[in-house]
Structure 1
Amino acid sequence: MIMEQRLTAEERLTLKTGAFGAVFLVANADPGVIALFRESFAASGVVADSSGVVKAALTSGPLPKLPRDPERGIEAVVLPALGRAVRILREKSPRDVADYRRVVLSAAQRAAGAHRGVAPAEAAVIERIRGALDQPA
């Protein structure tokens, strides 16, 4: 039996940076004030559907500080955070890796589809998010 280990505050923030940052990337891929509001609201429901370590990490502690730079600056923070988050979970709570991937991808997809469907730029961002989540150990 695999024992789950507690996540540190820094590790929880890494999970949160990846997850919230993924939604932020999608929202910035097809900008607009109304779209941003709808996309953020749509994505928030996915976090409520998570469980265990993932839900605890995403619903506690401070919000992540994401760069306000153009999309590439944000990606330089978010995509590595997603990879680190998966590695953290593989090490400390392997049974939660699939849930984290599901939550992040579902939130990104809901955000993308919340305002006039999924734009090509949003679909491209979701593929980069998927790639970051699927990196080997």
Structure 2
Amino acid sequence: MIMEQRLTADERLTLKTGAFGAVFLVSNADPGMLALIRESFAASGAMADSSGVVKEALTSGPLPKLPRDSELEIASVVLPALTRAVAILREKSPPDVATYRDVVLAAADRVARAHGGVTPEETAMIERIRGALAEAA
């Protein structure tokens, strides 16, 4: 049996950067001020549904600091964080890898559906997120 190891503060921040950043990327794929409120509630619901190490990482500690200049710059931070988060969980808490992937993708999907249906831009961003989560596989 594999024992779960506690995550360091940096590792928890990596998981949070990936998850919160994924939501931010999907939200920005089809921006709108009114949509932002609905999207925030949708994403927080998905993250609240998580459990174990993933829930602890996503609900404790400081919020991640994401770049705000361009989608390219944000993606250059977030997508590698998602890949690294999966690698961290594979090493320290293998049963939580699927939980993390599921939570991130559920949050991204809920954000996309929160306001007027899913746009092609949101779908494309979710596929990039899915790819980053699978790269560490």
The reply to whether TM is greater than 0.5 is yes
Q: Which residue of 1 aligns with 2:69?
A: 69
Q: Is the 8 A contact 2:101 2:133 kept in 1?
A: yes
Letter in 2 for 1:11: E
Task: State the aligned residue count.
Answer: 137
Letter in 1 for 2:27: A
Q: CA deviation digits over 1:66-87, x for unaligned, max 9? A: 0001111100000000000000
Q: Which residue of 2 aligns with 1:47?
A: 47
Q: Distance in 1 between matches of 2:24 and 2:133?
A: 16
Q: Is the 8 A contact 2:25 2:125 kept in 1?
A: yes
Identity %: 78
Q: Distance in 2 between matches of 1:72 and 1:66?
A: 12
The runs of 5 or more residues in structure 2 that have no matched partner are: none
CA distance 1:47–1:89, change in 2 (3 Å): same
The runs of 5 or more residues in structure 1 that have no matched partner are: none
Q: Which residue of 2 aligns with 1:16?
A: 16
Q: Distance in 2 between matches of 1:53 and 1:103?
A: 12
Q: Which residue of 2 aligns with 1:102?
A: 102
Q: Distance in 2 between matches of 1:97 and 1:5?
A: 13
Q: Distance in 2 between matches of 1:36 and 1:122?
A: 14
Q: Which moved more, 1:40-49 or 1:50-59?
A: 40-49
Q: TM-score, normalised by structure 1?
A: 0.98
Q: CA deviation digits over 1:41-73, x for unaligned, max 9? A: 111101111000000000000000000011111
Q: 3-state DSSP class of the match of 2:28? A: helix
Q: Distance in 2 between matches of 1:95 and 1:62?
A: 25
Q: Is the 8 A contact 2:86 2:136 kept in 1?
A: no
Q: Distance in 2 between matches of 1:69 and 1:134?
A: 26
Kindly report the root-mean-square deviation, in angstroms, between the aligned alpha carbons of the 2 structures: 0.7
